[in-house]
Structure formats: C-alpha cells, structure tokens
Amino acid sequence: MKTEQGYVMTEDRLRLFYKKTGRGPAILIPNGLYLFDDFSHLADHRALIVYDVRNRGLSDGVADSKKLERGILNDVDDLDVVRRHFDFSEIDLLGHSYMALMIVLYALKYGRHVGRMIQIGPVQPLAGRQYPPHLTGTDRTLVEVLAKIAQLQKEQVSSNPQLRCVEFWSVLRELYVVNASDIEKIKWDRCDLPNERNFWKYWSEIILPSIQRVTFTPEDLAGVTNPVLIIHGEKDRSSPYGGGRDWAMTLPNARLVSIRNAAHAPWIEAPGIVLGAIASFLAGAWPDTALKVHSLDPNNEL
C-alpha cells in the first residue's frame, strides 16, 4: 500500500511531518510516528494519518518560546490544522498516553468534527488526583528504573547527546511492558532526531505544566458524547490504571477494556485483545471486552 509523507503548515508557520496511507474515512494518530507500523493495518479500510506534533520528531523544532507556551493546547489547534489540510469534515482519533488527553481537549473544542475516539494508556483526567497504590502500577520495576535514571543523570555517562538519549531509553523502556521479553519491542526513542534528544526539557518545562493546568468540570465532559473506547493496562506505571477508570466513569459514552498483566504498551503485550477491540469499535460496535465502569476501584464491581 502506498504511503505518502510530507508536511502540514500550522497557523504560526511551523511544519508538522506526517505519513498517510490508505483510503476512506480518516483516523488520525497525533504524535503517532512510533505507532505507524503497529497500527498500519487500520489503513485496510480507512485513511490512516499519523504525524509528529510541534517540536517533536521530524516536525520543526521551535526556538521561539511564544510558539510553545500554550503547551498541549497548541497541539489541540494543530490537530485541526491537520484535519483541514486533508479536507476531512469528520475524523476518528487514536491517542496514546498524554495524546489521549489531547484528543479529549480537541473534542471539547472541535467536537462537530469528531467521530469515534480511542484512548490507549491515557494520562488521568486531572493531573493532581491521587489513586490507591493498586491502581497506579507502582512496583519494584518502577523503583529500580527511576533509580537507574537518576544514576545516569548523575554520571553523565556520555557527552554525546545522541548516545545519552540511547542510554536513557535503554533503561526507560523497561517501564512500558510487564514481561521482559517484550522490552526489545519498544522502539520509541528516535534518538537520531534533535527534537527527541531534547524532549525531556520540552516535556518537563512546557508540556507537563500545561497538562497540570488543565481542569474539567462535570459539565465540560458531559458534552463529549462521542463514543470513546479506553484501553488500559492494569499495571501501567506511566499512566495510572485508575486514570483509565476515571475517564470511563466520567465520559458519558465511554467503555473500558482492561488488559491484565500489561503496562503502557498493551497492543504489544496483548495484541489479539487490543487490536480486536479496536477493529470492532471502528466498525461501529462495542467490543465484548469493553465494559461500563461504575466504580473507580474494580474490586467494588465484582
């Protein structure tokens, strides 16, 4: 299948790199270049568009702080620029991690252009909310990885930025899966790209503070009536599983697929369940594995 690639120009004259393949109704995956191969099968029945958000990947690096200060809200408006560039009146959306929050923000602002939404391992709706330990994925691996990262930062093992990035990711990727045999499947680092070598600074100084400023009222989220499929690993160490349950309880037309013994990359750890659920959902039906959530604690629903 032919793959097209190029750039979309934002309102403030930044280029966003994209890949597009397939034909038919559109599904967009923002910040999705690292997901392209794993989800390329979606192009069998639709137009699949993945792109690097601003200051990420192959999109333009940004030196002007005024073009970054809105953080995740820039990404919301850029998503609509991408939609308009390809001339789709309605799009389905798939967001992983913090992009799963971004697509909800997009639906709040541009809801008339949204069809179905898929959140995978979403960050929680409200950044400051604390969940019980069994809903956070906190375990020995998390403690060990954080210690290794702290040691790497202390030692400055390599003076080469690309090698430092590789060293950092060689440790960090352990967080994203439960089984050690799946670690080699995490190839998200893209350390050959300057934007990705500098991502931690951008994340900690711009994106994370902008996420922490996001607030929703119940009335806000009641307006997101689009069908939302939430897929969350029960042992996610990066985005707490409690956050996935939170979204499923709060959004009025949402259901949750919980993946046991999976962390932040459930499509890698349980591909049959995850990809099957997505296929059913995009075909217009709730997958059998998707459940309504009535309690933050799954033990209270037994």
pTM equals: 0.96
For residue 205, give the DSSP letter: I
Could you give phi then psi for residue 84, rounded to 5 degrees? Answer: -70, -35
Q: Per 3-state DSSP, what percentage of the chain is helix, strand, and coil (rounded to 5)? A: 45, 15, 40
pLDDT of residue 297: 85
Per-residue pLDDT of 83-108, as tens digits, reads: 999 999 999 999 999 999 999 999 99
Per-residue pLDDT of 138-161, as tens digits, reads: 999 999 999 998 888 887 666 788
Write the CA distances from 39 to 55, 66, 300, integer angstroms.
23, 34, 34
Per-residue pLDDT of 199-218, as tens digits, reads: 989 999 999 999 999 999 88
Check: CB of residue 19 under 8 Å from CB of residue 61.
Answer: no
HSE-CB at 212 with a 13 A cutoff on CA atoms is 8
Orientation of helix 140-155 relative to helix 161-172, angle to 10°:
170
Q: What is the DSSP string of 49-118?
A: EEEPPTTSTTSPP---GGGTTTTHHHHHHHHHHHHHHTT-SSEEEEEETHHHHHHHHHHHHHGGGEEEEE
Domain topology for 3-137+207-301: Rossmann fold (3.40.50)
Check: CB of residue 29 under 8 Å from CB of residue 21.
Answer: no
| pLDDT score of 302 more than 80 | no
